A and B are shown apart, each in its own frame.
Chain A
């Protein structure tokens, strides 16, 4: 085995481009289930993924919070970029408690701690 850890960047928001995000979450959870260390980083519109109390049932889509909860339960690390959050008028108490907010500078250091990276 050459790679045992992956950092996955999600740059798109929920539901409007749900396939990208859903695909990222499915890949993340599969990697966790196969024993990899996985860090999911939400940046730009991706930070909307971590917003509490989402309810897309009226537009007939699956709630991404279900997959995100699985990610956390499986031991994944969830990072939300602080500036992207602020730019979208969101505060830390509006996003999932088990997420960590972090600056881009610190996120860039995190990349060094992983074998491979993916961007969705």
Chain B
């Protein structure tokens, strides 16, 4: 199953992440859940919203746990990742500052995720 696979038989999970890395485990758990769901055959979307957009900024390697690595791994597994344009702008997060493969998009794209999902999980609420 590839990115944006809309096979009607494939269940779709959307994950809304609203908390940034290190402040809590929300980002790590969200990303690990996304990867596990993808491995189990779900079509998976992640929407980075509010402080959740900060995870996109973890581009460098680290010697300790790194939510950015989990995000890169999710993208390699063809999890569809988008982040809120307004939230990104508020935090000065630009395309050149973030992990490759994330689309900066509007809130309407999140609503499209909702409409096409069988399950939605919020992390960080």
Interface residues of A (CB under 8 A from B): 1-4, 6, 9, 11, 19-20, 23, 26-27, 30-31, 33-34, 36, 116-120
Contact assessment for A1 and B116 in the assembled complex, using a CB-CB cutoff below 8 Å:
yes
Among A2, A11, A27, A119, the residue within 8 A (CB) of B115 is A2
- The chain B residue sitting closest to A120, CB to CB, is B125
Contact assessment for B18 and A120 in the assembled complex, using a CB-CB cutoff below 8 Å:
yes
Interface residues of B (CB under 8 A from A): 12, 16, 18, 49-51, 84, 86-87, 106-108, 110-112, 114-120, 122, 125
Smallest CB separation, B117 vs chain A (Å): 6
Contact assessment for A118 and B12 in the assembled complex, using a CB-CB cutoff below 8 Å:
no
Contact assessment for B117 and A119 in the assembled complex, using a CB-CB cutoff below 8 Å:
no
- The chain A residue sitting closest to B87, CB to CB, is A23
Chain B interface mostly: mixed
Contact assessment for A23 and B18 in the assembled complex, using a CB-CB cutoff below 8 Å:
yes
A-B contacts, 18 of them at CB < 8 A, read A2-B115, A2-B117, A3-B116, A3-B120, A27-B49, A27-B111, A30-B106, A30-B111, A33-B108, A34-B108, A36-B111, A117-B120, A117-B122, A118-B120, A118-B125, A119-B122, A119-B125, A120-B122
